[in-house]
């Protein structure tokens, strides 16, 4: 059996220094073994009374499995909400660790499993709780608003949690009340929300290793080759890329914008995993990944999150064959209780301010 070696992913810490975290690609699946593994996973999901919830950015095989077995493919909050509403005793989360933690916070009574608990996120890694707490303590006059892509401990320190679907509305709401905001962790999303709302926002420093790599100059060149294409951009991307967008939105927002605009071609600046769902929903439409190559490119991700990619068919099967404590998500009950407050505050707000999204959002 070929052993997959970890790749080393560079990301920027809150203090501007570079740090490195590993991401281990999943074991390769041969075409011969794939049907057998998929059938076995389907069987075990039933036998274990488990539901598979997958993020838009994981491999298409896992997205299809989730949809074919009564699970869901969605954003991080909807993943947690779906797991909560589902009658299954076990929730299997195919995503990254903060998504498993959020699922556990909202479903403390259920067993939450992940194919690989080492699936990280550069935003989460760049926001260690001790430093973040000091930052909050130094600015007691500010309302602490954190993005979903953070640890349970960071959420527990926050007043509000937001997702990219609802960040703008919540910040505008707080701004209208005269509140000043401390924002963490994504600097590009924070900058975008600040420009749209005009709120007084003090920023933490962190970026997504996938969206940070999109390149404006190369995007302009690609637009020249596809003059009819509409550009869809996730707001975790740099400002120069956002400025070229026909629509800026969360993962769910991008899919909805494409359905609404009815163009024949789209250039998509977010993780390429989402294109699988877009092709399924809009057959015959062309979707092109926005460029990450060019001057200054490091192409660590090439528009595919290396940590989302850690979810594979082999480790998904293994977690169902032999549920192992090292694959089970645990959140300290007291941290979970406190982290639930900013999450539920957002969900309550969403009921009245974002009814079309059913209170969900995404990372």
| Interacting residues toward ligand SF4 by CB under 6 A | 57, 96, 121-123, 149, 208-210, 271, 305, 307-308, 363
Taking the least distance from each CB to ligand SF4, the nearer of 209 and 232 is 209
Structure tokens belonging to residue 2: 């070929």
Q: How far is the CB of 208 from ligand SF4 (least distance, A)?
A: 3
Closest Cα partner for 177 from 146, 142, 137, 135? Answer: 142
Collapsing DSSP to helix, strand or coil, 348 comes out as helix
Closest Cα partner for 7 from 315, 335, 309? Answer: 309
Q: How far is the CB of 236 from ligand SF4 (least distance, A)?
A: 6
Taking the least distance from each CB to ligand SF4, the nearer of 174 and 233 is 233
Contact 141, 151 (CB under 8 A): no
Q: How far is the CB of 271 from ligand SF4 (least distance, A)?
A: 5
Q: Which residues of 248-281 are buried (b: 16+ CB within 10 A; e: fewer)?
A: bbbbbbbbbbbeeeebeebbbbbbbbbbbbbeee
Taking the least distance from each CB to ligand SF4, the nearer of 10 and 89 is 10
Collapsing DSSP to helix, strand or coil, 183 comes out as strand
Taking the least distance from each CB to ligand SF4, the nearer of 122 and 327 is 122
Q: How far is the CB of 22 from ligand SF4 (least distance, A)?
A: 14
Compute the half-sphere exposure of residue 106: CA atoms within 13 Å on the CB side of its CA: 23
Taking the least distance from each CB to ligand SF4, the nearer of 258 and 308 is 308
Q: How far is the CB of 207 from ligand SF4 (least distance, A)?
A: 8
Give residue for tokens 């990219």: 164
């Amino acid at each position: 059996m070929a052993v997959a070696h970890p790749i080393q992913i560079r990301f920027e810490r809150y203090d501007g220094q570079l740090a490195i975290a590993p991401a281990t690609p999943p074991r390769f699946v041969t075409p011969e073994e794939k049907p057998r593994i998929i059938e076995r996973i389907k069987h075990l999901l039933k036998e274990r009374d488990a539901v598979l919830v997958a993020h838009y950015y994981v491999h298409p095989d896992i997205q299809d499995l989730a949809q074919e077995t009564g699970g869901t493919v969605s954003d991080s909050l909807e993943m947690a909400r779906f797991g909560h509403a589902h009658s299954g005793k076990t929730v299997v989360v195919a995503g990254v660790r903060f998504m498993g933690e959020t699922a556990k916070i909202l479903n403390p009574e259920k067993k939450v499993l992940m194919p690989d608990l080492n699936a990280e996120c550069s935003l989460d890694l760049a926001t260690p709780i001790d430093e973040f707490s000091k930052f909050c303590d130094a600015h007691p006059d500010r309302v602490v608003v954190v993005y979903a892509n953070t640890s349970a401990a960071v959420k527990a320190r926050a007043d509000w949690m937001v997702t990219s679907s609802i960040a703008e509305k919540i910040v505008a709401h707080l701004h209208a009340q005269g509140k000043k905001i401390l924002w963490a962790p994504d600097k590009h999303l924070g900058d975008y929300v600040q420009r749209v709302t005009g709120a007084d926002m003090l920023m933490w420093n962190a970026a997504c290793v996938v969206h940070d790599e999109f390149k404006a100059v190369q995007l302009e060149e690609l637009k020249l080759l596809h003059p009819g294409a509409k550009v869809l951009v996730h707001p975790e991307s740099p400002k120069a890329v956002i400025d070229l967008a026909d629509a800026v939105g969360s993962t769910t927002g991008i899919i909805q914008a494409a359905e609404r605009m009815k163009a024949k071609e789209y250039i998509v600046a977010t993780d390429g995993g989402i294109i699988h769902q877009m092709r399924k929903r809009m057959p015959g439409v062309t979707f092109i990944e926005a460029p990450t190559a060019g001057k200054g490119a490091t192409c660590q991700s090439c528009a595919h999150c290396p940590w989302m990619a850690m979810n594979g068919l082999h480790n998904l099967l293994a977690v169902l064959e032999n549920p192992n404590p090292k694959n089970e998500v645990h959140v300290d009950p007291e941290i979970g209780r406190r982290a639930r407050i900013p999450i539920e505050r957002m969900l309550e707000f969403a009921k009245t301010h974002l009814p079309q999204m059913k209170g969900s959002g995404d990372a």
